[in-house]
Structure 1
């Protein structure tokens, strides 16, 4: 069963939007409620986090407070209408469309051209150097490997070796989505829109390419060129292989912890492929 709103969250939502009738429960059973509702003022999305997902809701609030403006202005993502960080609940405008993942648009070149254009809007807002991010990210990946997982001992040992030996240097960071791939895109009458900023953070721009690189671009390589046609250039640098390794570790371990066997299997494939570069 999906989680439900707490009484405090429900009270806030009632105060913000009044009476609302349910349209659909879009929750992913991961300690976050996502509800499509209809109100007197129009359709809305209500997102509420439980204790395990509260930090994701905070990231989403940060994204909508300071980074999604260009996408909102272009009509390519929701505007946040209400938010309470302490209660862990937000209300967003509803966006028409269906998920790109699993639809015919998932392997259409124009989808990726548009996705590249949208991601560039997000990335181009600001940039700065971070002297410590690489060290933090390597440490985070090593910490993932200390949690329960089903990565083979040989592969885990090799991943640890690479991560511990990786040099840390300053990197350019920008506002990133953190989970940029077809499961977080909608398509409506041919227009691609972005959803779910729960992994928003300042990171190197190449980090937003890893999900596509591990799946859709492997299956249909022409989609990569279409994406960069929209994005404008290729932001990958000499830390790209290390980034793919870190994301592979996080995917394999996290998916095991939440019981997503298909995503866990993808993580294992990502790990094996990433290590070949070292």
Structure 2
């Protein structure tokens, strides 16, 4: 299927890098390195040069922390989205928000994708995507409250639950008017899950791909990688790339990442091994 992200379209063989741009002073990974607007804009320029097709701009860290109301979230992201839109008309702009009021404001400023990382917590967000012909990411969080950590969450079958919820949210969005080609599903590693759950959805990601909806994975430096390898945040790249390779072989379409170049190389190598992509050049033994 053609993947339609706002004003941008990609054919069914395309795999896309979604580079993370945090407009927060307290993100778990970069510790506020792109909190200042000019630093965040420099990050956008960097990832565009590295080949990212999408930037995902977020104004609130996912983990518990200081309360950020909708007005403050808008202040952090809306004008920045407008600045990026003006500078990069061909770039796909995603905004990581669960609030419909923020979603409406960023779509007015030029956003193409609403990345609802908290699983439909605000049911009005899907209608905003429909109103603006924007794409929508539907995630599985097990029903947890935004910005809370999972505590002894249990599933009979975590993958079945992820499929049931994300496909249900996807169909609801389509019913509201979101283009079917603009709905993406995400198992949401770590969100509402312990490490065993995240490992299982990685191992069985092909079942989500088989739904026919394009699948986004957000693996970069997640706790399930850190706990598996007993590594802190700054040392999880190799584990992240291993999980990326598994998801790429299963057919994930979009990769939400901190490290664009390394992830692109892994995804392209896996796609070529799988026969979905030709080598960039192949002269060994032929020339």
TM-score interval (norm. to shorter): 0.3 to 0.5
Q: Which has the higher helix share?
A: 1
Determine which structure has the larger strand proportion and give its number. 1
Answer with 1 or 2: which has the greater Rg.
1
- The TM-score, its normalising length taken from structure 2, stands at 0.32
Q: TM-score, normalised by structure 1?
A: 0.33
